[in-house]
Structure 1
């Protein structure tokens, strides 16, 4: 049975909208968060990941093109390279560490940005039952211009109590 997710909401946090103390540019760093409603009788996580990959909202190159319903790209990767098997189950602590290390490079984020990240990212991550991290694809899975992102971190959070799956992408371009 092919389960379906329903797009519910999204948030976009642009680091360019905040003034950072000290050296370093954060002009092209951002976090994109997409929330999808779980089916009434949600399946196991593997089936949820497959439903996410099939979803229209997953066809986003995250390079200005937005969601392309018939698209063949997801972030820097060919859509065909993505399966539930490329997502690694990770703990809350590891994912929070990856995101904090990325966000705070080369220095701490301003208070206003930290509050937005806490509200849209940290608080939702803490509520998740399960966290998955897209890992191990490598450059062989890049599409024709897939190297445009300096960093590309993707997480999927399953929050069964809230009936929600969240796709989070944090990237530099």
Structure 2
């Protein structure tokens, strides 16, 4: 899997893209190698970011063509497989604090391991990311600040078990 990721990453960088995820799974049609590409992260992305910042069908096609050629030459996998290249989607997972910074102003859903204001499932617009340092163990704690129209909630990133953007039409 690391070999496929490395190959895909080399190709994606040539197009100003980055690899979001690589999955190799056996499915009813056989083995499927899925490569999820994304625009390279920029710290200044906000709700004002225009659609040119989204992965296009052309991006997927170009990466697929180039990755396929390199995989044929360099990837050692003992089974035939189908290659799929796509974006993480409109409801993409937020896997790091940096993702929350990147998508400030966007609607998101969070599932937490410990209740926040009595809730295990929270949703709202990401309005900030706060950092606080602890003196006892030199650790930086992150809180995602979410506004849902009725209130503002501070969600400790350390208790987030799943987070996704919500589709806005």
TM-score exceeds 0.5: no
Higher RCO, 1 vs 2 (CA within 8 Å, ≥6 residues apart): 1
**TM-score in terms of structure 1 length:** 0.25
The structure that is helix-richer by fraction is 1
TM-score after normalising by structure 2: 0.25
Question: Quick check: which one's strand share is greater?
Answer: 2
Greater Rg by CA: 2
